[in-house]
Structure 1
Amino acid sequence: MGHSVGGHGSAATRPGLSPGIPEPTSGAGRLRQIVFAYIALTKPRVIELLLVATVPVMLLADRGSIDIGLIAVTLVGGWLGAASANTLNMVIDHDIDQKMKRTERRPLARHAVSRMHALVFGLVLGVASFAVLWTCANLLSALLVTATIAFYVFVYTMILKRRTWQNVVWGGAAGCMPTLVGWAAVTGSLSWQPVVLFLVIFFWTPPHTWALAMRYKEDYKAAGVPMLPVVATELHVAKQMVYYTWATVASTLVLVWATGPIYAVVAIGAGAWFLRAVHKLLAATRRGEPITPLKVFLQSNEYLAIVFCGLAVDSVVHLPTVAGWF
């Protein structure tokens, strides 16, 4: 895989370098570029969602106690799985990534890594993910991660993304899977609580993604990706974002029954804060005023982190659940 950066052949035969002129980068520098290119394939910033979703769910599943070892191996296995899915996504999307300013510096788009090397890298990460979870957690968690990779690559990337504006609605299910994986790693089974948290992220994903797509609408249009802001008016997009945000907040409140007062307060407060931002976007759109969708995108990240952190604290403190009050 180390030969994937910079292409093949000597310096004398590469475009842009004259015969006898040495490579502008030292051996150590080129190695560093290779390492960073492979790290970039995994989309490390996107994987932050894995941490936000997995740890609180595991704490809820084992409410009142903390198994650091199990949490650590589940995060490693989950990270490997997410890195695999993201890498394989880049392999498939290398062509449209070159057409979008937001993605034109990705490793495959700028030919820092060959597609074949990236494909092998992604597959190896997927196998490693399954092995880690099966060995250190249980088979159910390993199978769920493998199913997530397959869904993200074959259903979202290869079928939905370029064909329908509902791509992120249904394709977003892949990003919800850490809730099920975390619960399965602790209990070896599934229950209604992780399903509710799955729905929280499922409903959150469209307004989160559409806010970004509103900002980069021309990029998606140039790449031929039918994101909702590309095929619909801003007013329609804003309305859809409001609907999905209400569904998100409503889903967080369903979980109040199985948690304590800390989570309840956080879910209600954060939900009101996020709803206010999305309604402001809708109001500005209706008035024809300039809008700042990127601000809503960033706030959506903060909202989800606050809700799940509130769940983590509530689970560790282990106060009586709301259900126990009745």
Structure 2
Amino acid sequence: MSDIGILERDTEGQFGDYIALLKPRVMSLVVFTAFVGLVVAPVGVHPFVGFVAVLFIALGGGASGALNMWYDADIDRLMRRTQSRPIPAGRVTEGEALGFGLALAGISCVMLALAANIFAGLFLAFTIFFYVVVYTIWLKRATPQNIVIGGAAGAFPPMIGWAVATGGISMESLAMFAIIFLWTPPHFWSLALFMKDDYSNAGVPMLTVTHGRRVTRGQILLYTLILAPVAVGTAFTSIGGPVYLAVALVLNALFIRGAVRLWRRDEAAALAEKYATEKRFFYFSLLYLFGHFLALLAEKGLSLFGMGGW
């Protein structure tokens, strides 16, 4: 076999590369929160319909990831964190990623509408549009508030799950949206605190780049303080209860404590510690979100035995 043939074989996109385009770690959050939104809804859904609905929501989330990687291929090549992704690494072409993402987007929205209801399918289509066009193409490179506004895309999945079951929106689904929406800035800005050079090199106006780490730390604390009453207050909706309240009180107390610690730190101490505190806060933020939604599931499970709620 010629050297050219070997090169073509080695750089050809493999199955795992197309899976990577879907951003599986992000998709896991989409799947989980959408599943919770569906399960805690007051209207029951046949298990097969629920499974299919969550599957197509996951594919829609994956489509968003592929289209995001297609558009961001230029800056992904400049960031250490993303240089190994399939497109910058040369294993998948930009055209292949675009076609793959558009195909998944169309399939997921149409099939969700057929499997569940038209409103859920349209909601998924809007979510993909919001993430790709509003966040990726417009906001991400235009404003340091990119994460704040664009975070809505990541907060829609539990509302879509709820819509699969109910065909609409309610205060409870908006509460789940609000938790993720307000959680997103502290989560991503804590990542940006120890990844600033990446965003700077790529020309992405992350808050750490445009306003500095000191301001970013203050904004993390501000959003954490706003998030806490919203997260705790969800305990007093129809999807909450004493178990959720106990979990929310503990998690929010720890989250606020972590945000205060970040706010009090100076850059010399953070650098000397290699941003260990910032990294701990970032990883705890993942536990924070999963903990709240697991508690909502627990309340639903208890309610089936007549033990949940107030």
TM-score, normalisation: structure 2:
0.91
2:256 equivalent to 1:275: yes
Residues 123 and 136 of structure 1: CA distance in aligned 2, closer, same or farther (over 3 Å): same
Paired AA for residue 299 in structure 1:
F
2:174 to 190, 195, 208: 195
Q: Provide the C-alpha distance between the structure 1 equivalents of 2:133 and 2:73, rounded to a whole number of angstroms.
A: 15
Which deviates more, 153-162 or 230-239?
A: 230-239
Residues 159-188 of structure 1: CA deviation (Å, up to 9, x unaligned):
110111000000111001102101100011
Q: What residue number does 2:188 align with?
A: 209
Q: What residue number does 1:23 align with?
A: 6
Q: Provide the C-alpha distance between the structure 2 equivalents of 1:209 and 1:89, rounded to a whole number of angstroms.
A: 17
Q: Provide the C-alpha distance between the structure 1 equivalents of 2:246 and 2:111, rounded to a whole number of angstroms.
A: 36
Asked if structure 2 preserves the Cα contact closer than 8 Å seen for 1:55 and 1:312, the reply is no
2:27 equivalent to 1:51: no
Q: What residue number does 2:286 align with?
A: 301
SS in 2 for 1:154: helix
Q: Which runs of structure 2 are paired with 1:142-161 in the superposition (5 Å)?
A: 142-161=121-140
Asked if structure 1 preserves the Cα contact closer than 8 Å seen for 2:131 and 2:150, the reply is yes
Q: What residue number does 2:246 align with?
A: 265
Q: Provide the C-alpha distance between the structure 2 equivalents of 1:261 and 1:119, rounded to a whole number of angstroms.
A: 46
Q: Provide the C-alpha distance between the structure 2 equivalents of 1:274 and 1:66, rounded to a whole number of angstroms.
A: 34
Give, in angstroms, the shift of residue 24 of structure 1: 7.8
Q: Provide the C-alpha distance between the structure 2 equivalents of 1:152 and 1:264, rounded to a whole number of angstroms.
A: 31
Paired AA for residue 293 in structure 2:
F
Asked if structure 1 preserves the Cα contact closer than 8 Å seen for 2:299 and 2:308, the reply is no
Q: What residue number does 1:34 align with?
A: 14
Residues 255 and 104 of structure 1: CA distance in aligned 2, closer, same or farther (over 3 Å): same
Residues 109-146 of structure 1: CA deviation (Å, up to 9, x unaligned):
11111111111100110011112211111111111110
Q: Provide the C-alpha distance between the structure 2 equivalents of 1:71 and 1:238, rounded to a whole number of angstroms.
A: 40
Whichever of the two has the greater Rg, that structure is 1
Q: Provide the C-alpha distance between the structure 2 equivalents of 1:77 and 1:41, rounded to a whole number of angstroms.
A: 16
Asked if structure 2 preserves the Cα contact closer than 8 Å seen for 1:238 and 1:285, the reply is no
2:65 to 69, 86, 108: 86
Residues 67 and 246 of structure 1: CA distance in aligned 2, closer, same or farther (over 3 Å): farther
Give, in angstroms, the shift of residue 52 of structure 1: 2.8
Q: What residue number does 2:309 align with?
A: 321
Residues 28-78 of structure 1: CA deviation (Å, up to 9, x unaligned):
x888x6101111111101111113311222222137x67432331121011
Paired AA for residue 129 in structure 2:
A
2:77 equivalent to 1:98: yes
Asked if structure 2 preserves the Cα contact closer than 8 Å seen for 1:52 and 1:309, the reply is no
Asked if structure 2 preserves the Cα contact closer than 8 Å seen for 1:88 and 1:122, the reply is yes
Asked if structure 2 preserves the Cα contact closer than 8 Å seen for 1:179 and 1:198, the reply is yes
Where do 5+ consecutive residues of structure 1 fail to align? 1-9, 15-21
Give, in angstroms, the shift of residue 320 of structure 1: 4.8
TM-score, normalisation: structure 1:
0.87
Q: Provide the C-alpha distance between the structure 2 equivalents of 1:24 and 1:91, rounded to a whole number of angstroms.
A: 22
Q: Provide the C-alpha distance between the structure 2 equivalents of 1:287 and 1:222, rounded to a whole number of angstroms.
A: 22
Q: Provide the C-alpha distance between the structure 2 equivalents of 1:48 and 1:138, rounded to a whole number of angstroms.
A: 23
Q: Provide the C-alpha distance between the structure 2 equivalents of 1:30 and 1:285, rounded to a whole number of angstroms.
A: 45
Task: Kindly indicate which of the two structures has a greater share of residues assigned to helix.
Answer: 2
Which deviates more, 302-311 or 246-255?
A: 246-255
Computed over aligned residues only, the root mean square deviation of the Cα atoms, in angstroms, reads: 2.1
Identity rate, percent:
34
Q: What residue number does 1:180 align with?
A: 159
Asked if structure 1 preserves the Cα contact closer than 8 Å seen for 2:73 and 2:88, the reply is yes
2:297 equivalent to 1:312: yes
Paired AA for residue 303 in structure 1:
Y
Which deviates more, 255-264 or 168-177?
A: 255-264
Where do 5+ consecutive residues of structure 2 fail to align? none
Asked if structure 1 preserves the Cα contact closer than 8 Å seen for 2:105 and 2:128, the reply is yes
Q: Provide the C-alpha distance between the structure 2 equivalents of 1:42 and 1:54, rounded to a whole number of angstroms.
A: 16
SS in 1 for 2:156: helix
Residues 9-40 of structure 1: CA deviation (Å, up to 9, x unaligned):
x844x3xxxxxxx6289x7x888x61011111
SS in 2 for 1:23: helix
Give, in angstroms, the shift of residue 287 of structure 1: 8.3
